A = this chain, B = another copy of it.
Amino acid sequence: MSSLPAAVNPPLRTLMGPGPSDVHPRVWAATAAPTVGHLDPYFLRVMDEMQTMLRQVFRTENPLTFAVSGTGSAGMEACVVNLVEPGDRMLVCQNGVFGGRMADVAGRAGAEVTVLERPFGEVFTADEIKAALDGKPVKAVGIVHAETSTGAMQPLEEISKVVHEAGALLLVDCVTSLAGAPVEIDAWDVDAAYSGTQKCLSCPPGLAPVTFSPRAEEVIANRKSKVASWYLDTTMIRNYWGSERAYHHTAPINANYGLHEALRLVLEEGLEARWARHRANHVALREGLAALGIEYAVAEAHRLPMLNAVRIPAGVDDATVRKRLLTEFGIEIGAGLGPMKGVTWRIGLMGAASTRRNVLLFLAALEACLSEQGVGVTPGTGVAAANAAYA
């Protein structure tokens, strides 16, 4: 067939956007290991091992902890549609694109959704959530721990208390934070949480780690209606990941191999060491950007270490710089999302991509791009400031 496209032959990128992040070659190798059946005794063992490792990474003992066979957005939908039923009230905290998405998902599942809004880049206080819950009973409160669209980190401990005092379940988006900053499912008393594989887990996109507390499991067990989605119905999926091993759908075998290896890499390093690495590289990048005169879009107290949302300097063409970074230097960074489009860049330092090498490479490349755009930059200052931060 002369019209066949050429075989896949991707360019080598340094993935410093909002995800996917750089993947460790050990993960790619695992992904390419021989496929076995989804009920093969070997794969069942892999599943057990993954559950154990996912619990360690989520810092939980929740039995219902597994990988949804879809991306992070499928993980969001899985958490929402299992917890809420038509007519249930749900409070969704929206300070970015992903809070908005959660409200949309909950509405489709038949929930009566109340949206509590904060401007993009800000975070919520426990008091304002407590005030918002001061009315009719709410089934669940949904909130984003690390808003990938804005770069803001939401403190959760106090909020968890007011949510539970109001008798609601706490549903948390950990897509971008998991394995890059503290996520303490049990200590924070989170009832349902989801993540994605392509952020700080540094695995290709395609699976969504989720965990449900025993309290959430009880709520699901007492539902009056079927879960809106058959594919994401934990009352059936649990019988495949659990000891029954009842066929539900055919698990993505090779993607799970990849996640297994990615989890091994996380635990080899150790969670605390990994959080510290993300923090250290964030600080160095911050110092380097400051030296280049670039400002963050989020207040310092609430910045994500793994996703740096910064204001595009005045007079600089957004698309031109991102394209030059990609084509000349092989570096992908993210554009602003939603109302932040053209306003911010999102610079990821996630998982395997959170390295001193990448911080320095990016600052050096950005300096070249800014000079071309006529922004006055003293040569080498960004790199020097970052290097100093490691000292």
Contact = CB atoms under 8 A, between A and B. Distances in A.
Contacts of A204: 35, 252-255
Tallying the copies of this chain within the complex gives 2
Contacts of A260: 5, 8
Nearest to A23: B35
Interface of A: 1, 4-5, 7-13, 15, 17, 19-20, 22-23, 26, 28-38, 40-43, 46, 49, 52-53, 69-74, 77, 101, 104-105, 107-109, 196, 198, 204-206, 226-231, 247-255, 257-258, 260-261, 264, 267-268, 270, 326, 332, 337
A231 B337 contact: no
Main secondary structure of the interface of A (DSSP, over half): loop
A250 B72 contact: yes
A195 B40 CA distance: 22
Contact of A205 (B226, B250, B267): B250
B71 A252 contact: yes
Contacts of A231: 70, 73-74, 77
A32 B34 contact: no
A5 B108 contact: no
B31 A13 contact: no
Nearest to A20: B35
A1 B105 CA distance: 39
B71 A254 contact: no
A7 B32 contact: no
A205 B28 contact: no
B249 A71 contact: yes
A250 B10 contact: no
Contacts of A109: 228
Interface centre among A7, A23, A260 (most CB of B within 10 A): A7
Nearest to A248: B73
8 contacts: A4-B264, A10-B35, A17-B37, A19-B250, A35-B198, A69-B71, A196-B250, A254-B258
B205 A206 contact: no
Contacts of A74: 69-70, 231, 249
A32 B203 CA distance: 11
A101 B248 CA distance: 10
A383 B70 CA distance: 42
A53 B8 CA distance: 14
Contacts of A38: 20, 205
B70 A337 contact: no
A226 B107 contact: yes
Contacts of A53: 4-5
A10 B204 CA distance: 20
B23 A10 contact: no
Nearest to A45: B5
B37 A15 contact: yes
A61 to B, nearest CB: 15
A192 B50 CA distance: 35
Contacts of A43: 10
Given A10-B36, A254-B258, 19 more contacts: A1-B268, A4-B53, A4-B267, A4-B268, A5-B49, A5-B53, A8-B260, A11-B42, A13-B34, A13-B36, A20-B37, A28-B254, A37-B332, A70-B70, A70-B231, A71-B252, A108-B228, A108-B229, A204-B253
